[in-house]
Structure formats: C-alpha cells, structure tokens
Amino acid sequence: MNFGHFDDEKREYVITNPQTPWPWINYLGNEDFFSLISNTAGGYSFYKDAKFRRITRYRYNNVPMDNGGKYFYINDGGTIWSPGWKPCKTPLDDYSCRHGMNYTVIKGAKNGIEAEVLYFVPLKTWAEVQKVSLKNNTDQSKKIKLFSFVEWALWNAATDMENFQRNFSTGEVEIDGSTIYHKTEYKERRNHYAYYSVNAPIGGFETDRETFFGLYNGFDEPQTVLEGGPRNSVAHGWSPIASHFVEVELQPGESKELVFVLGYVENEQDDKWESKNIINKTKAKATLERFNTAEKVDAALAELKAYWEKLLGVFTLNSKEEKLNRMVNIWNQYQCMITFCFSRSASFFESGIGRGMGFRDSNQDLIGFVHQIPERARERIIDIASTQFPDGGCYHQYQPLTKKGNNEIGQGFNDDPMWLILGATSYIKETGDFSILVEPVPFDNEPGTEVSMFEHLTVSFDHVVNNLGPHGLPLIGRADWNDCLNLNCFSNDPNESFQTTENKTEGSKAESLMIAGLFVVYGRDYVELCRKLDKNEEADRAQKHIDAMVEAVKQHGWDGEWFLRAYDYYGNKVGSDENEEGKIFIESNGWCTMAGIGMEEGMVAKALDSVKERLDCEHGIVLNNPAFTKYYIEYGEISSYPAGYKENAGIFCHNNPWIMIGETVQGRGDRAWDYFRKICPAYTEHLSDLHKVEPYVYAQMIAGKDAFKPGEAKNSWLTGTAAWNYYTITQYILGIRPTYDGLLMDPCVPAEWDGFQVTRTFRGTTFNIEVTNPNGVMKGVIELWIDGEKADGSLVPIIGKASCEVKVIMG
C-alpha cells in the first residue's frame, strides 16, 4: 500500500495520507541551523549540535509516537484543526505533505479554509522560516483564529529530560512586540538565545506551557485554543513555550500570508545586553528583517532550490529505470547530503544525544557527497584526521561543536584508520586536489603535533601493519566495522555498554578478516597514491604488506566455501561451517571479494555464491546465518539481539553494497543489480505497510529472514547505507568512476539493459555519457568515443573543456 507518491519534477515526495506507518520525516537546513520535520509537523530544531544546542523540545518514543513539533492550530468558529492533521486529528477535507529538498510544505483544508505551511531554513541563515498561507474558499467572509506553537528546550537535550529539580526553576522569556525570546540561562553562562516571531501584529501570546495547554490537556486540545484566545502568560520556570495568536479575516476567495521565523542568535560576551536583563536583539531583528514579507521568503526558497539544482546536477542519470533515476538523481544524493550534515546524531531513531561524528562513519559518508561539496569534504577530512593518535589509532567519535575526540565512546576500533585512506583518496580522485596531502594536521587536536595529511595516511596504513595477530591477520581491537562483534569484551554486566566497557585485547588472538579485506582494498589505494606522488619506496614497502595480507587471508581466512569472519579471543574460528550458529557473515565476504582475494583460485565466485545461498532473502542480504539464538559472551552484543534484527542476522543495508561491488569484481551485473533493487527504497514503496519507514530514503536495517516480521525496516535516514549505495550504483554498477587521471568507464549491469545516459560534471567538465550495450553483456567496454574520437581503453582523461560527449559501447 502507498501513502503517497514521488513527484520527480518537483523533487518531492507527496504524502496524501497523514497516517503513515511511521512518521515520515524530512530535514531542513544544511549548515548550522537544523530541523527535523515529520509529515504531520512533528520534530524539533537545533543549532549545530543536537545534544548541546537543542532549540525546541521533542519527546522520543512517546504515546502517540510523534508528539510535539512546530504546530499551528486554527479555531474556525469553534472547530479546532491543524494543517498537518496532527496534533488535533480533526478529520480534514484535504491533506498533503510535500517533502522536498530541505523544505516541507504541509497543506490542510477544512470547512472551506485552506491552510498551507511552508517550512525551510534559508541558506546561510540561523533560523527556520514558516510561511503560512490561508485561503478562504467559501463564499462567505471568515474570521479565523490562528495559534502558533513551539516548545523551548533548555539547550542541553540530555539534562533537559533529567534534571527537573533545576529545570523547572530556570525558564525565562522576554516578549517584544510580535517576537517571543527564549533566554533561559542567558543571564549566566550562555551567550545565545532563541526567538519566535511573526511578521504581523499579534492579538496575544502564551509563553507558559501549562497556561497554553492546561495541566491535563494534550497537544490535541490546548486550553488557549479551545478558549479562543490567550492569557498572555509570561513563563517563569516550568516549561517555556512560544505561541502567537493572530486573528485573520478572509473575504470569499481571499488569501493571506504570514511569515513566522524561529531563530537562534549568539552574541559576544560583552555585547549580550541592551540594558540590565534586557537582551541585545540586534541580530534577531536583522534576520527578521530579511524575511518580513512573503516575497522575501519566496525568493529565499527559490535560492534554496537553485542551490539543490546545482548540487544534484553533478551527476544525472537517464535510464529506462524510472525508480533508479529518481534515486540516483534526487533521493539518494539528497540522503547522502543529509547524512553528511547530521552524521548519526538526529533522526527519529537517533535521539541526538548519544552520538557525535563517527571516525569511520564520516569517512564513508564522504564517498556519497564529495562530488557535491568537495570543499566541505576537504574540511571534514582534516577535522577527522585531527582526532587521530600518532600511532594511527583513533577516537571512535568526535563532538561536532568542539571537533575534539570523544573519549566516552572509546577507541581501539581497528578498522577505523583505514577509512581515512578511503576518505582522502576519494576526495583527491574527485577533485585532483593533492594539496590536501601537505596540509599540516595535528594528532588528537594537540597544537604542535602537526604532520602532513599524507603522514596521517601512512600511520593509518601502519596501524594495521603494527597490529597483526597470530595468523598475520589484523587484530580486531575493540571491534571492527561491526561494532557488535565484541570479541574481546566478555561482558556479563547488563549496565555495561559493549562499546565502552573494558576490552581484554591484551593477549587476545582475535583477528578480523573484514579488516584484512579492507586493508587490501584501501592499502592498494594507498600504494597507488604513493606511486602517483613518486614515493615508490613507500609504495613498495606497503605493497609487501598487502601481498602478505592476501596470502594470510588465503591461507588462514578461507573456510572452504566462503571467507571466515574472524578468529576469536582464543583463536577459534568465527563465521565458519564448523560453528553451530553464525556460520557465515557478510562483511568479510564483501571485503575479500571486493579485494578480489583468491580470484584465480575461484574463491571470489565461491564466496559470493555462498552469500547468495545462505544470506540472501526476499528483502536483502542478511548479515549472518544462522542467527544467534543465545548469548555468546565471547561474541558480545551481536548475540544480544533477537534473531533477525540489527547485527544479529538483520539485513544491515550498509554492507549489502559490499557484496554488490564484489559481484561487479566477478562481473556479475545481474546479481549486483538484483541486490541493489531489493533494498532500494523506491523499489519497495509498494511495501510501505510492511516496511514502515520512508520510501524515499534508505534505512539502516531491514528485519531479516529469521525475524518475526521480515521486511520491516528501522533506523531510516542517517546511515552509511546512503553513501555506499550511491557509490556502488554510480561507480560500480553504472561504473562511472573518478580516478586520479580521469573518469573510468566500467559499467557492470544486467545483460538485458541496453544502455543508459549519464551527465557528470567532473574537474570542471560536464561529460555527457552515453553507454550502450548492444551485445547484452554484463561487463566490459569494447569501444570508447570521446567527443567523436575513438579512444583506447576505458578511461576518459581530464580535459579543459566545459563539456564533452562520451560514448561507451559495452561488449
């Protein structure tokens, strides 16, 4: 069942039934000020850091689920309704929610009144703008009462929901004309406040939540709205909110527009006050000035759309697969950018409290957006590398506000360093900007410790080399990419986090075949980079380690039909046929086949066939099989999940592309495509009832075949899945792959595809690429034409021209 449809022309998903199986959300803002908004206007805003600068309050996992947001209430002659259906839930005559690129438009109609709310964060603006359009479609004049609503969070989202002893006494506001200022704690150490305003005179306001709702009323029936007017409450402690009251008179057919602005301001410490206890409002007023008419708002929206037009235009696919075009051209790229902006911090599954920027996450995310915003990718790579230790080890996360490593989340995930090589080389391949390699970058953000970025890559490479186990395979450390495979943890205390509890790595024999494959893949990238830089001695040295690793994998990492997953603390096999549960895992088979290890011996094909036979199912490829049905203290968190969910045999979408790429290494485009389609949201839209989460973005996890409800998805939006699928479809299936020296044409598609066109802007040139497949092959380029000239091989070199016509003939 569908709850809406794609509007590719407008780059929107249009929801027409408010009762989606889960809140279907969108993200506003892409630099400093951010909002999450559901299809019924639920959600919240924050500035840069979802934990430390939460602007509006949101309650996760509430009853009903998505409760609280940027609500508008209309009292039309006693009938109370909201344009987004919720929170009033008054049945509407018409409803739609259009989620577009960083904007959302929610429209509702009731009794001849149409109310549309446009929500977006204008470019370079520390504010969310809401344009409310009201139209009277009746033949009578109408006077309606409009109430806005936001609830202020007391800045720190964690203590906001814990420390009521303090919180219930600290709330402070200031009201100035049509603007309500939230200044809790501004008197003391904060240099920031928030505000909510409307570009019209108001008939009153509320700033005290209890006065607005009444102590016993829910979001669906605020006392003030029911009573038809506010009491002009001034919050002192308890829970400050901001609600404007505007009476709007509409003649038959008349429309009126109001602009609400929810903003954030930081002042200099010595410029905080206008007069004693009266905040300096200069910056807020300047922002309000920028959006004080509907026309200015429309212009800002047009700018935002132009911005996205440009971002998304770097890669455009035209194929016979409409759903694929939609994902590649719009939604997958959009999700990559959102993931860049939010990392794993704030979604309707991530509470914005627990997680900063991940070292490995951020590097992987980068492969999904580096072509769109290379300059911000560059900055991100330097930020990430600056948290590294001199031995190549890493904090697992860093805080977005301070950019410092977050020690609370631990260290010692031994795959982490290798991802930096992926991030840096991807950036250079996209941009040709080798200058990043000579940037001075500190260790652990310690001034004075700076070495070149290139040296960071070297210590990253060497971190694996210097941490090998008894089989010459990489020691797993705290865990590798699968941070639920905690081979050195041995946790038996339920209050311990598997991620941070003491890890018994001393004397451990736990080795990871996944890191082994990763090392071979990105080690080769490192070697290639060295050669490019004429550092041939270093390249030779590195190559020897890679060769040794390949041998170690063949000798100690092959289980007969697939690659082992790991050796545990005691040196026992994990992911072997000799195990009772968890006989085979996806990660090692993905990376070792991507690395082509044992290709000639048939290991790659055999491993991939085993994956197909044992891990594949209707909804995607599960992580391991059989699922664990009891707790293994020597494996840790993976065995703590119910069978079929998350790391315990769920379809962890992030890693499915590794198998897809492995299949392209083997040349099997049909299998790669089949896997791609299974987890691709546009292709599962009709399963929305089962799938639950948004049909326009990837979810981190789909319940696997061992689950109670296979196919049910969770943790949508913020997942490396977006980047990996985008990377895989564009670079390995469509096969348009940036290299240091040009764009490589290396498609690997189903034999029945007869071709496709791609427009790709790369190093200043727009390449119009036409791929044809006259012989119905899955892989192989027999002819390459560049601007009408036949070329050798399959590399399109860098040319200085603005545009270039490329023809690729497969065969």
Q: Which of residues 613-642 bind a copy of itself (CB under 8 A)?
A: 629-631, 639-642
Q: What is the DSSP string of 250-278?
A: E-TT-EEEEEEEEEEEE--GGG-EEETTE
Query: Could you say which residues in the range 204-233 bind a copy of itself, by CB under 8 A?
Result: 209-210, 213-220
Identify the residue among 170, 178, 280, 292 touching a copy of itself (CB under 8 A): 170
Closest CB 341 distance from a copy of itself, rounded Å? 18
Q: Which stretch binds a copy of itself (CB under 8 A): 6-14, 158-166, 440-448, 619-627?
A: 158-166
Nearest to 683 by CA among 15, 104, 6: 6
Distance CA 449, CA 663 (A): 43
391 as an active site residue: the answer is no
Identify the residue among 701, 749, 769, 795 touching a copy of itself (CB under 8 A): 701
Taken in order 681, 690, 98, 205, the sign of the CA dihedral is negative
Tokens coding 526: 């490192």
Closer to a copy of itself by CB, 157 or 301: give it.
157
Which one from 483, 525, 559, 568 is the annotated catalytic residue?
A: 483
Closer to a copy of itself by CB, 310 or 709: give it.
709
Closest CB 214 distance from a copy of itself, rounded Å? 8
Residue 645 as a binder of a copy of itself (CB under 8 A): the answer is: yes
Residue 504 as a binder of a copy of itself (CB under 8 A): the answer is: no
Residue holding tokens 């509320």?
206
Asked whether 607 and 562 are in contact (CB, 8 A), the reply is yes
Residue 415 as a binder of a copy of itself (CB under 8 A): the answer is: no
Closer to a copy of itself by CB, 64 or 750: give it.
64
Taken in order 261, 262, 267, 271, the sign of the CA dihedral is positive
Query: Could you say which residues in the range 274-303 bind a copy of itself, by CB under 8 A?
Result: 276-277
H-run or E-run covering 332: helix 332-342
Beta strand ranges found along 343-486 (DSSP E): 357-358, 397-398, 440-441, 451-452
Query: Could you say which residues in the range 317-336 bind a copy of itself, by CB under 8 A?
Result: none
Nearest to 510 by CA among 583, 584, 421, 415: 415
Asked whether 299 and 292 are in contact (CB, 8 A), the reply is no
Identify the residue among 458, 715, 721, 725 touching a copy of itself (CB under 8 A): 715
Given 3-state DSSP classes, what are the helix, strand and coil percentages for the chain, each rounded to the nearest 5?
30, 30, 40
Distance CA 571, CA 567 (A): 5
Residue 502 as a binder of a copy of itself (CB under 8 A): the answer is: no
CA 91 to chain centre: 34
Residue 407 as a binder of a copy of itself (CB under 8 A): the answer is: no
CA 81 to chain centre: 33
φ, ψ of residue 773 to 5 degrees: the values are -135, 65
Residue 21 as a binder of a copy of itself (CB under 8 A): the answer is: yes
Identify the residue among 174, 350, 361, 525 touching a copy of itself (CB under 8 A): 350
Residue 267 as a binder of a copy of itself (CB under 8 A): the answer is: no
Residue 190 as a binder of a copy of itself (CB under 8 A): the answer is: yes
Closer to a copy of itself by CB, 164 or 570: give it.
164
Residue 403 as a binder of a copy of itself (CB under 8 A): the answer is: no
Distance CA 240, CA 183 (A): 10
Closer to a copy of itself by CB, 483 or 511: give it.
483
Closer to a copy of itself by CB, 92 or 665: give it.
92
Query: Could you say which residues in the range 766-805 bind a copy of itself, by CB under 8 A?
Result: none
Q: Within 10 Å of residue 19's Cβ, how many Cβ atoms?
A: 12
Closer to a copy of itself by CB, 565 or 646: give it.
646
What's the Cα-to-Cα distance from 520 to each of 475, 589, 662, rounded to whole Å?
15, 13, 14
Site size toward a copy of itself, by CB under 8 A: 79
Residue 169 as a binder of a copy of itself (CB under 8 A): the answer is: yes
Distance CA 496, CA 464 (A): 28
Closest CB 205 distance from a copy of itself, rounded Å? 17
Query: Could you say which residues in the range 71-110 bind a copy of itself, by CB under 8 A?
Result: 86, 89
Taken in order 707, 711, 715, 721, the sign of the CA dihedral is positive
Closest CB 23 distance from a copy of itself, rounded Å? 8
Closest CB 80 distance from a copy of itself, rounded Å? 16
Q: Which stretch binds a copy of itself (CB under 8 A): 59-67, 544-552, 577-585, 588-596?
A: 59-67
Nearest to 404 by CA among 374, 442, 435: 442
Closer to a copy of itself by CB, 219 or 334: give it.
219
Q: Which stretch binds a copy of itself (CB under 8 A): 345-353, 444-452, 589-597, 754-762?
A: 345-353
Residue 138 as a binder of a copy of itself (CB under 8 A): the answer is: no
Distance CA 44, CA 335 (A): 19
Closer to a copy of itself by CB, 48 or 296: give it.
48
Closest CB 474 distance from a copy of itself, rounded Å? 26
Residues tagged active-site? 483
